[in-house]
Amino acid sequence: MPRVFSVALPPWLTHALRAQRGPVPWNAVVRGALAAGPLLLAAVLAGRESVGVMAALGAMLAGINDRPGSRRTAVHRIGVPGLAGAAGLVVGTYAGEGLGTVPLTLILTALGLLAGAVSAVGPVSSGAGTQLLVAAAIGAGMPLPEPGWQRALFFLAGAAWLIALRLALPTPGALAHDFRFDGERVAVADVYDAIAELLAAAGGEQAGARRAALTAALDHAQDALAGPRLRRYASSSAERRLRAQYAAALPLAEAATALAWAGDALPARTAEGPRRLAVAVRTGEPCGPLPAPARSVPGLRALDDALLHAAETFDRGGKQTGGKQTGGRKPGSRQEIDGKKAGDEHGAALHSDADAALHSGAGTNPLDRGARQTAHKGLRLRPFRTKALLRTVTGPGGREYGFRVALCYGASAAVAQALHHVHWYWLPATAVFLVKPDLGPLVSRVLNRAAGTVLGALVFAGFAAVLPRPEGLIALVAISGALIPVATRHFAAQTAVVTVLVLALVMVGGEPEASWSRIGETLLACAIVLIVGHLPAPGQRGGNVRARLDAATDAAHAYLTHVLSGADDRAARWALRREAYRKLAEARAAIDRAAAELPTLARHTEGTDEVAATLERLVDTTTACAVHLDDTGRLTPRHTERLATLLDELVEQRERAGLADPPADLLSA
């Protein structure tokens, strides 16, 4: 029998080869095709090519931030970076016109320090920091006749055009409902599907992965429903219904997590109820009868109560929109199947929506009160304060981000100006995408950027030799804009598409074909970032990972303290639980990125993955304790022993990883 050899690739290489999967986002593809290309065409027809180049750049960068989600969150996700890019254009243009090489380099370095530190706040802030630096380099180096404020306005116009397309164009297949909330509808339905998958995986090896998928779905739905609004509370009945359906999913998720923690396999019908609720969210139809789980253990009783509440919530929403009651049975009735009694662990008793209305005790039980408060006010238990923002920006993560970005950005600007290249702004702009620590491991980004640039430059050189000008170049811009939403799944593919688009814009703007210089500039930027990114830095490396873990520990502490206090505020408990899992997910993402660095950088965060795993088990156990306390009012020895063991492990693992001790009151809990 032949011997099979398997080669284990290092993490930094496997990350470079990894690509996201999923269906093609055709709505985003259409928006991309209608964004930069038509803007450039209109400007060329008006004889203002430079204006079209700037508007197309704004639309292109906005397209990179055009991710799946609700329309309101898209306004925030695209608009804030667009405003930052406009500000960068103003600063870069006037600094480039009025300052020499050394002062300009210092200004750009200071911008890099600021943008890098702000990037530690979150994804939107990171996008804003990226566009600020890219636009500042373009403003300082790109020769355009318009003054800085006009460049900023046209750049904003390009981003605003994509936002308008995002708000106006419906998603295919969403016209049967209120298409304004198709993103929210899909996100809430995905939560119910994730709950069903977790229940189906309980007692198996995939339970941990399914719980993480549920966390991601809840985070996505929470963000989709919490986008910016003109009014404080929802004014549309469709939005109120979706918020109520999301709130109804929270106790289901809590019960499913507790059941997965118990480690026992569940009957197949246990997951059927959430699946039917997911279909009801997507179609807008009544959910119909829901299979009732056997009420044999606290977790199943909590799941049954949550299903009853969800059935009532969906039924009430149907009445508000003219829907009819489902089930076709009188209030209080139960249907038996296969001769089994309702509630028997082998039976398949069904709850109708009328059953739910009778048994839920609307407005009197903690579950209903918590769901109504959550649907009305959202999950913002601890408001975001300026002090917390400043702590994040000036903390270890912000300082490390800022130092690395500023050093690479400033060094690239200095080298580029010293070479006196006509497109010197390409070098610092490329360095921004390479050095941002939240965009992926350093070596992975460098490899993908180099490969993508070479591929994109070669493809463009071939097209430029045969396409008519400017018609063919404008078509190439439109096609590249349509490909960006698909290409964002892999950094090399995204780089190739953006390279083609940028080179086409440069030629439309009146400059010569620059494929080969683009390759040289990119390879030089890769070398600078690799060298500077691995230089010894002041302070302790891995500051972002440590900051994320500290935030996750603080959130886990707040959640555990609330549960053990015996407080009956479900809305507060669900908010604390969501915050704990969200902070853990952010810490996990930072740890995974750090682990995929070269060993010289990865060693600074060794052991942090064990701390995150222990925190996840602690939050899971806290959730199981909450469900058990609701049912019996006291904890079992299994719960208390598990909590004590996890707290002891947390102290030991944080010490091995070089982290500060957790809060003293957490250990005494």
Q: Which of 462-476, 510-524, 579-593 has the lowest mean pLDDT?
A: 510-524
Highest mean pLDDT among 3-7, 475-479, 662-666: 475-479
pLDDT of residue 604: 79
Q: What is the mean pLDDT of the chain?
A: 83
Bigger pLDDT: 151 vs 2:
151
The alpha carbon dihedral of 72, 215, 300, 650 has a sign of: negative
- Supply the pTM of this predicted model: 0.84
pLDDT digits (tens, 9 = 90+) for 323-377: 333 333 233 322 332 333 334 433 334 444 434 433 444 446 787 778 777 777 7
pLDDT digits (tens, 9 = 90+) for 567-597: 888 889 999 999 999 999 999 998 988 888 8
Three-class secondary structure assignment of 383-437: CCCHHHHHHHHHCHHHHHHHHHHHHHHHHHHHHHHHHCCCCCCHHHHHHHHHHCH
Residue 372 vs residues 229, 310, 366: alpha-carbon distances, Å: 20, 12, 10
pLDDT above 90 covers what percent of the chain?
Answer: 41
pLDDT of residue 539: 58
Beta-bridge mates of residue 329? none
C-alpha 601/C-alpha 542 separation (Å) is 8
Bigger pLDDT: 658 vs 352:
658
Cα–Cα–Cα angle for 363, 364, 370, nearest 5°? 65
pLDDT of residue 5: 45
pLDDT of residue 441: 82
Asked if residue 480 lies in contact with residue 497, where contact means CB atoms within 8 angstroms, the answer is yes
> What tokens does 264 get?
């026992």
C-alpha 286/C-alpha 327 separation (Å) is 9
pLDDT grade, residue 246 (50/70/90)? very high
pLDDT of residue 667: 58
Bigger pLDDT: 512 vs 130:
130
pLDDT grade, residue 239 (50/70/90)? confident
Residue 606 in this model has a pLDDT that exceeds 60: yes
pLDDT digits (tens, 9 = 90+) for 402-442: 888 899 999 999 999 988 777 888 899 999 888 876 677 88
Q: Which of 54-68, 298-312, 387-401 has the lowest mean pLDDT?
A: 387-401
End-to-end CA separation in angstroms for the chain: 58
Bigger pLDDT: 104 vs 663:
104
Cα 629 versus chain centre, distance: 33
pLDDT of residue 434: 86
Residue 156 in this model has a pLDDT that exceeds 90: yes
Residue 522 in this model has a pLDDT that exceeds 50: yes
The stretches of 541-607 forming alpha helices (DSSP H) are 543-564, 570-595, 599-602
> What tokens does 196 get?
């069903």
C-alpha 526/C-alpha 528 separation (Å) is 6
> What tokens does 424 get?
């010197």
Mean pLDDT for 61-73 is 85
- Of 178, 173, 256, the C-alpha closest to 211 is 256
pLDDT digits (tens, 9 = 90+) for 196-216: 999 999 988 999 999 999 999
From the CB of residue 240, how many other CB atoms can be counted at a distance below 10 Å?
Answer: 16
Asked if residue 413 lies in contact with residue 137, where contact means CB atoms within 8 angstroms, the answer is yes
Q: Which of 251-265, 415-429, 470-484 has the lowest mean pLDDT?
A: 415-429
C-alpha 526/C-alpha 431 separation (Å) is 7
- Of 502, 532, 534, 505, the C-alpha closest to 519 is 502
Asked if residue 241 lies in contact with residue 287, where contact means CB atoms within 8 angstroms, the answer is no
pLDDT of residue 291: 85
Residue 2, classified by CB atoms within 10 Å of its CB into exposed (0-12), middle (13-18) or buried (19+), is exposed
| Residue 332 one-letter amino acid | G
pLDDT of residue 350: 47
Cα–Cα–Cα angle for 461, 462, 465, nearest 5°? 85
- Of 589, 435, 437, the C-alpha closest to 120 is 437
pLDDT of residue 397: 77
Beta-bridge mates of residue 350? 291, 335
> What tokens does 531 get?
């060298």
Residue 488 in this model has a pLDDT that exceeds 60: yes
Residue 538 in this model has a pLDDT that exceeds 90: no
pLDDT of residue 169: 83
- Of 52, 26, 99, the C-alpha closest to 510 is 52
C-alpha 397/C-alpha 118 separation (Å) is 10
Asked if residue 531 lies in contact with residue 435, where contact means CB atoms within 8 angstroms, the answer is no
Close Cβ partners of 608 (under 8 Å, ≥ 6 residues apart): 542, 545, 546, 549, 587, 591, 594, 657, 659
Instruction: Please give the full DSSP string across 431-493, using - where no structure is assigned.
Output: HHHHH-GGGS-HHHHHHHHHHHHHHHHHHHHHHHHHS-TTHHHHHHHHHHHHHHHHHTTSHHH
pLDDT of residue 174: 55
> What tokens does 422 get?
């006509």
pLDDT of residue 25: 84
Bigger pLDDT: 217 vs 8:
217
